[in-house]
Every structure is written in structure tokens, then in C-alpha cells.
Structure 1
């Protein structure tokens, strides 16, 4: 049995391999970005539903503010994927992916402006 730390490394390695292959795979799919996102979400829904039902941790009840936040983050994720896949189809995988990876910097700046988070060299160092 793997230690918790080694299992974590295994999970992140598998996640990176899957994520890293998406840009290449999208270029081979001849459908529009919106349709790719639709089928990805559909198949993810089916797959996750099976896992959650088998684990008996599935609930249909969404309470209070969580409902709105889950809907908003779902719409945001779908739009994110549509724009990213459209970028993959209209530029190179390299340009689209490297541009996409500027997101942590943008989020850090926005959080400093709107969430009053402190900016320090410690924060800047963590971005590297």
C-alpha cells in the first residue's frame, strides 16, 4: 500500500497526464467547442453519478446559497472550457495552454483588488 504522500503524488501525476493530453485530443475532434464541452459534461455527469450512487453519497437536495454558487461555478466552468477549446482550435496548443496558465496571476491580482488580500513579496514568490 502506498503512503498518503506517495498516493498524492500518483494522483497529481495522473491528473497532469490527463490534463496535458486534452489540448492535443481537442485538435483531433472535428466538432465545435460547444459540442465538445456538452459531451464532456454529459459523460462526466454519467460517470460521476455512477461513482456517487455506488458510494451512497449522492444527494439531490441543494440548500441555500450553495445552489446559486454551484450553478454559477458550473456555468463559469462550461464557459471556461468553451473559450479554452475555441482557443485550441484557433491557435496552437502551446499558445493556448501557456496563455491559460496565466490564470493564477490574474486571480491573484483580482483577489487583491476585490477581496482586499494583501500583496507581498511572499505572495509574489509563491506565484513562481
Structure 2
């Protein structure tokens, strides 16, 4: 359990690090994917955990999920640039609700009354945050645009999760390695066309390395080590350390304000999403 908690705290801090990386979102996502892919490749080779025949059998859903993951990172980083980490996190954590709503169509799961109530409750929370968010706040920010980017990232993350259901007998590390490597390959043409991959200061370079190695490579290794030791319901509950710690970090380290409507909306989103996730994990 301690491994999952550590992984969630690492992921919860990524928004703070993004604030100090002076690169466009596409270039940041690309470098994160390249660095993390290299780290995970070395890890799988050293630990002899890569099974090429299993990867080959699942290559199509893994590559498509990797494409979705790459653009998911871009939109999430855009959300961090345009609105607060709290708003970005709360909109991004609408992903489990998207999964619940799409599961009957894609995974043929039954849509229960509890799942419907959970979805409506989270939707009300999102509406509250959107309604009380301003347009342009300080220079370079736009809360509503940032929240929309967060929702786009959530939809793409939901796509990654749903596609993972179509993989068979492939480990979490194998899945993550191929998905992140695919994300790097897909983002490469955009990076080359834009020609904006210029790291102008040492801080940006160091923090890019950190989010690639620590927030992605190491965090995923720790997470998949811990997730084998806990049931699905426990993992669903512990996953909420990620968004809650992200909000705490943003307030404590960046001094971001958190207004009452945001708190109310966040409670509705996190609370009803948690209920929905627990109901799914019991199946």
C-alpha cells in the first residue's frame, strides 16, 4: 500500500513542476515521453520483465492508447498553463465518470442507478466550478479554457483506460513502456514541424528530467509494484491521494487561492467519482 501512496504523491506534485518548465505543452509532453521511455526500457531489460511475444499480441490497442496518452499530456499541461492546478485537477478527475458512462457501450457493463447518481453528482460539481470560474483572470490565464483543456485530457485518459481493457496477459510495466514510447513517436513529427524545442534555462531542463524520470518512470514502477498487493477497491480509494495532494501542493507551494465554490464542486466530483469507482471495483 505504501508504494501506491508514494506514487500518488509523486503524481500529485507534477503540476507544481510544470509551472517552472518554460516550454510549450507539446514539447514538454514529448520530452517526458522520450525520457520515461528510455528509463522504462532500461528497467525492463535489466529486470528481464519484457515479454516481446505478449507485447506483439497486444500491439494495436497499446499503440492507439499511447497516441491518446501523448495528447492527454498535452491537454493536461495546457490546463496547468491556463488555470490553477486545483481547477485542472478537478476537471481532469472527471475521467472516471467518462469511463462509467462509456463502459456500457464499449465494455458492455451494466449502468446501475448508483453509477447514474454518481455521474450526475460529479456533473453538478463540474458545473459549479465552471459557473463560478472567471474568464480571464491574471495575464495569460483563462479559467474556463483551462478547465476545457482538463476535460479534453480526461476524455483522452478515459480512452487509455478503456483501450487497456482490450489487452490480454500483458503487465503494467510492459503496457506503460509501449504506450509512452508510442506517444513519443506520434509527437515527434509535431515537434519537428514546430521547431520550438529550445530549453532556454537550466531549471526547465532539470525539471523536464524530473517529470520524465521521477513522475513517469519511477512512479509507474512503484505503482505497479504496489498495485499487485492490494485489491481494486483499495486502489480506487488510494488513487484520490493524487488529486487531493495536487491541490494541497498548489496551495502550499504556489499560493494558489481556493474559493468556496471550487471546494464545493471538488467535493462533489471527488465524492461521487469515488462512489462510482468503488461500485465498479466490486464487480
TM-score (norm 1): 0.82
SS in 1 for 2:78: helix
For the pair 1:127 / 2:119, whether they are aligned, the reply is: no
Q: Out of 33, 36, 45, which is 1:44 matched to?
A: 36
Give the structure 2 partner of residue 32 of structure 1.
24
For the pair 1:23 / 2:10, whether they are aligned, the reply is: no
Please give the residue correspondences for 1:43-122 in structure 2 after superposition, counting only pairs within 5 Å: 43-60=35-52, 62-64=55-57, 66-122=58-114
- In structure 1, stretches of 5+ residues that fail to align are 1-8
CA root-mean-square deviation: 1.9
Name which structure has the greater RCO, CA cutoff 8 Å, separation 6+.
Answer: 2
Give the structure 1 partner of residue 3 of structure 2.
11
Give the structure 2 partner of residue 3 of structure 1.
none
How far apart are the structure 2 equivalents of 1:67 and 1:12?
27
Residue 52 and residue 115 in structure 1: after superposition, are their counterparts in 2 closer, same or farther (change >3 A)? Answer: closer
CA positional deviation for 1:114: 3.9
1:62-120 per-position Cα deviation (integer Å, ceiling 9, x unaligned): 434x1111110100101111101111111111101100001101110111244432122
TM-score (norm 2): 0.39
- In structure 2, stretches of 5+ residues that fail to align are 119-271, 278-283
